Amino acid sequence: MYARWVLTALLTWPLLAGLVVLLLPARLAKYVALGASLVEFAISVPLWWTFAPAGGMQFVADHTWIAAWGIHFTVGLDGISLFLVLLTTFLMPLSILGSWSYITKRETGFYTLLLVLTTGMIGVFVALDLFLFYVMWEVMLIPMYFIIGVWGGDNRLYAAIKFFIYTFFGSLLMLVAILVLYLHAGQATGVYSFSYAYLLSNAKDLGPVAWWLFGAFFLAFAIKVPMFPLHTWLPDAHVEAPTAGSVILAGVLLKMGTYGFLRFALPFFPAVALNQSVQLVIVVLSLIGIIYGGLVAMVQPDFKKLIAYSSVAHLGFVMLGIWALTLQSVQGALLIMINHGVSTGALFFLAGMIYERRHSRLIEAYGGIARVVPLFAAILTIVSLSSIALPGTNGFVGEFLVLLGSFRTYPIATALATTGVIVAAAYLLTALQRVIYNPLTNPENEKLPDLTPRELAVLIPLLVGILWVGIYPKPFLQRMEPAARALIEQMKPNAASTAGQP
């Protein structure tokens, strides 16, 4: 019973709640939004137990939407999307609670947009109809544009427009590619449908067109990931967005790019994706992302920008893991996607909390505040260590698996990628030293109040996630394994039997 309505409910509930928020007085907006997002999370939690790891696509719901064009409302969940949906529903209440005192103007609009955004994000992860996928992809773009453009920092309009045009450019190319796939399958079989399974089974014999289509999907997803050199929208958007915006951007929106590769670009065009030159380009770009992203993060004076560039590096690991296509590397990539959402989300929350106290994002504005705000310092340390991938934290398990799995496919690239781990330690530990240690020189920092119970309520769930995945990743890996294995078999039918063996 639950399996039939859960995904539909997850998609419609935030929209309904958003409508309610619109109708209520502004001072109630955040309470209603928090309540609604907690209900949303509660609806999604049983997915964890009821999900059958070996069951392939499940919780499927299928309704005709626009029959004349073969457009359906089809949603479903597998081991790849399960955690992304859970990550989204997990981060939303925290984002709303984290905006409690940060957002002081036009609260109605802000919380409505956050709720609409929830629908868009979950929709992207569960859509099994390419038209629905495209609609959801755009649905999530618009609220984020307003969140950055209205509630952002000083340079918010520049960042918002850049984010929008950049992402939109890629997604329009993707729309063209989707239409070509739709027409190609329709002309070949006489049945016109946007269904994922149908288009997937009819995506063969595309000939040289496959290269163009892959290119279009690649651009759309690579911008979103973001891969070097398509990343420069990210530092602007992350820095200018309000805390909740940065958390969701880093936590969920970036994963849509890597998710798109896993769900669409790879299975639809395996021959192109596994072409030697394509592999070379992607691995080199991932590697540049890892090392270049880390080095540039190291010299950022602005703490939020540092986190933004560190995302480029982390997502480089994900891309490397995906393309290496071994069981460990794909599971590691999936795990990093979750870990990055939790750890980087926590870093952005912490950056936002200290910004609310001092109104500066510059690292040099701080120093020695460990004595003044010990709780903040302790949590920042733990979260930073998890972002560095210290053993015992979530980051380690993900990066270790990616490096372990990728080494078999790309030994040299993987060896080089390990330097990224060292660079991560360099930029985060020096930032940590300059923010919470060193002598306290600025008198403005002497009277900073420590974290409030509300802020702890935001951070503690994230800390639990960091340690849980770090110490006992088995429940996560078990649920991902069949989906990762299926992807590898789809991509490399000959290697299927040896996918799990070294």
Please give the residue ranges that form the binding site for another protein (CB under 8 A). 162, 165-166, 229, 232-233, 292, 295-296, 298-300, 327-328, 331, 397, 400-401, 404, 473-474, 477-478, 481, 500-502
- Cβ–Cβ under 8 Å, residues 268 and 395: no
CB of 474 to another protein, least distance (A): 6
Amino acid in position 112: T
Query: Is the CB of 365 or the CB of 401 nearer to another protein?
Result: 401
374: closest CA among 328, 291, 316, 437?
437
Minimum distance between the CB of residue 422 and another protein, rounded to whole angstroms? 11
Rounded least distance, CB 495 to another protein, Å:
14
> Quick one: 94 or 377, whose CB is closer to another protein?
377
In the complex, the smallest distance separating the C-beta of residue 326 from another protein, rounded to whole angstroms, is 10
User: Can you tell me the distance from the alpha carbon of 81 to that of 487, in angstroms, rounded to the nearest whole number?
Assistant: 13
To another protein, the closest distance from the beta carbon of 347 in angstroms equals 20
Q: What are 61's strand-pairing partners? A: 75
User: Residue 235 CB, nearest distance to another protein (Å)?
Assistant: 8
Choice between 13 and 476, CB closer to another protein: 476
CB of 366 to another protein, least distance (A): 20
- Tell me the two tokens of residue 402: 């990616």
CB of 472 to another protein, least distance (A): 8
Closest CB 162 distance from another protein, rounded Å: 8
Between 199 and 219, whose beta carbon lies closer to another protein? Answer: 219
Q: How far is the CB of 292 from another protein (least distance, A)?
A: 6
| Alpha carbons 294 and 419: distance in angstroms, whole number | 10
Nearest CB to another protein, comparing residues 298 and 390: 298
Q: Which is nearer to another protein, 244 or 382 (CB)?
A: 382
For residue 195, which phi and psi values (nearest 5 degrees)? -60, 135
Q: Which is nearer to another protein, 241 or 327 (CB)?
A: 327
Helix axes 107-126, 2-23, angle to 10 degrees: 160
Q: How far apart are CA 260 and CA 177, in angstroms?
A: 13
User: In angstroms, how far is the first alpha carbon of the chain from the final one?
Assistant: 41
Exposure string (b/e) for 158-197, b if CB count within 10 Å is 16 or more?
ebbebbbebbbebbebbbebbebbbebbbeeeeeebbbbe
Other CB atoms closer than 10 Å to residue 12's CB: what's the count? 12
Whether 345 contacts 91, CB under 8 Å: yes
- Where b means 16+ CB within 10 Å and e means fewer, 63-91 reads eebeeeebbbbbbbbbbbbbbbbbbbbbb
**For another protein, which is the closer residue by CB, 181 or 401?**
401
Closer residue to another protein, CB minimum distance, 302 or 450? 302
Cα–Cα distances in Å, from 357 out to 101, 228, 347? 11, 34, 16
Could you give the CA distance from residue 304 to residue 246 in angstroms, rounded to a whole number?
Answer: 9
Report the residue number, 46 or 500, with the smaller CB distance to another protein: 500
| Cβ distance to another protein smaller for residue 141 or 404 | 404
* 8 Å CB contact between 313 and 289: yes
Minimum gap (Å) between residue 459 Cβ and another protein = 23
Q: From CA 173, how far away is CA 400, in angstroms rounded?
A: 35
How many C-beta atoms lie closer than 10 Å to residue 150's C-beta? 17
The nearer residue to another protein, 330 or 458, going by C-beta atoms, is: 330
Tokens 């900073």 correspond to 448
**What whole-number distance in Å separates Cα of residue 181 and Cα of residue 186?**
8
Say how far apart CA 185 and CA 24 lie, in whole Å.
48
For the CB of residue 265, give the shortest distance to another protein in the complex, in Å. 23
Residue type, 414: T
